[in-house]
Every structure is written in structure tokens, then in C-alpha cells.
């Protein structure tokens, strides 16, 4: 079983660029100079990608790697409808952003406890990144750029952890809750 395929790498690249574009206005300062805006747009998209993409991609890869640790084939996929909906909402300048850009598929032969652990792996990744950013902010020597990046990383990962642990379908929290119930 391959660790990661070329198709998955291409999907990760697509997700990274599109997430950077979707979140560019949330994580970069607004510049009123229209020439500076055009000149810095790609730089701002790369900056936004550096902040948001790891939160989403590491979340999904934790699902994949935990499933693979159980001997299950697992594949990372772009969820085109979810990514397209987020892109459409951004283009229409919606104040609400619905984001479901990717998912990991694995066979339905997983046990309830395996499903629970696979489901929890993604939010757990966000929790680890939140804790890491919090500790780095508290104990690290930071310049302004690192301070901004870590502050945004901390907020995004805490939000993703809480949001994904909501115990209603299709969120990870639903599968974690069902797995816990099946243990009793």
C-alpha cells in the first residue's frame, strides 16, 4: 500500500492554493492601494495558504494515517462540492463561510472503535497544532510575522477542533460519539 499517491499530492496542492485564495481576505491586512493589491495578491495567497492549509490538510492526513495504521487502505480526496461551495461563497463575499474541502475514504470494514479513532484523529491533529502554537506563543522568541502566523494558527485550529467535534453527522464528533456509545 502506497503511503501517498501522485493523485493525492496533486489534490493537496489544489486544496492548498484554493484555501489560500478563500482565506486571503481573512488573514492578510487590507491595502487600499489598488496597484499594491494586485502586486501583493499572490504573496498574500501564499501567506494565507501557509496558515490555513496545514490546519485542514494535517487534519485529513491524520485520518488517513490512523486508518492505514489499522491496515485499511485510505485515500485523501478533494471534496469538489464542498470546495466549490466555499469558493462560490467567497466570490459572492458571503459573511458566512461553509468549508468542507476534503475527506479521506476507507473501507466500511472498520470496527466501531476503529471508526471512532479514525474520526478523532483529525480533530486531535487540530488540538495538537493549537497546543503547539499556544506554547510557541508563550515561550518562543517571535518577530511580528511569526506572532501573526501563530496567533492565526492557534485560532483556526481551536475553531476546527471544536467545530469538527460537534456530535451531528457528518462531523467527526458524530463518529466519535457513536464509537463511544458502541463501547458501552
The mean pLDDT of 133-161, rounded to a whole number, is 92
What is the three-class DSSP state of 103? strand
Q: What is the pLDDT of residue 99?
A: 80
- Residue-wise pLDDT for 24-34, tens only, equals 888 776 554 55
What is the three-class DSSP state of 115? helix
Q: For residue 29, give the H/E element and its range.
A: none
What is the three-class DSSP state of 71? coil
Q: DSSP letter at 109?
A: T
Q: What is the pLDDT of residue 41?
A: 79
Cell numbers linked to 163: 467545530
- Residue-wise pLDDT for 51-98, tens only, equals 999 999 999 999 999 999 999 999 999 999 999 999 999 999 888 887
How far apart are the C-alpha atoms of 183 and 32, rounded to whole Å? 56
Beta-sheet strands, E only, within the chain: 75-78, 102-105
Cα atoms in the 13 Å half-sphere on the side-chain side of 84: 3
Q: What is the pLDDT of residue 37?
A: 53
CA dihedral angle for residue 51, residue 78, residue 14, residue 8, rounded to 10 degrees: 100
- Helix, strand, coil distribution of the chain in percent, nearest 5: 70, 5, 25
Domain boundaries, the chain: 6-183
For the ranges 41-50, 127-136, 149-158, 174-183, the lowest mean pLDDT is seen at 41-50
What is the three-class DSSP state of 101? coil
How far apart are the C-alpha atoms of 147 and 78, rounded to whole Å? 31
For the ranges 32-36, 108-112, 136-140, 165-169, the lowest mean pLDDT is seen at 32-36
Cα torsion 85, 89, 121, 14: sign? positive
Pairing of strands 102-105, 75-78: antiparallel
Q: What is the pLDDT of residue 100?
A: 86
Q: What is the pLDDT of residue 76?
A: 95
Contacts of 62 (CB under 8 A, 6+ apart): 121, 122, 124, 125
For residue 172, name the pLDDT band (cuts at 50, 70, 90): very high
Amino acid at each position: 500500500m502506497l503511503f501517498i499517491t501522485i493523485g493525492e499530492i496533486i489534490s493537496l496542492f489544489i486544496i492548498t492554493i484554493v484555501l489560500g485564495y478563500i482565506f486571503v481576505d481573512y488573514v492578510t491586512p487590507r491595502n487600499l492601494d489598488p496597484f499594491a493589491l494586485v502586486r501583493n495578491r499572490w504573496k498574500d495567497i501564499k501567506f494565507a495558504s501557509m496558515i490555513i492549509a496545514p490546519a485542514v490538510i494535517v487534519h485529513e492526513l491524520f485520518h488517513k494515517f490512523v486508518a492505514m495504521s489499522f491496515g485499511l487502505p485510505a485515500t485523501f480526496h478533494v471534496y469538489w462540492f464542498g470546495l466549490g461551495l466555499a469558493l462560490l461563497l467567497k466570490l459572492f463575499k458571503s459573511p458566512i463561510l461553509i468549508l468542507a474541502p476534503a475527506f479521506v475514504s476507507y473501507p466500511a470494514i472498520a470496527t466501531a472503535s476503529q471508526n471512532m479513532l479514525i474520526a478523532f484523529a483529525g480533530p486531535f491533529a487540530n488540538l495538537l497544532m493549537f497546543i503547539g502554537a499556544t506554547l510557541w506563543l508563550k515561550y518562543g522568541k517571535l518577530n511580528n510575522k511569526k506572532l501573526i502566523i501563530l496567533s492565526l494558527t492557534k485560532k483556526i485550529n481551536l475553531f476546527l477542533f471544536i467545530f469538527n467535534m460537534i456530535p451531528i453527522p457528518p462531523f467527526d464528533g458524530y463518529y466519535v460519539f457513536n464509537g463511544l456509545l458502541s463501547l458501552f
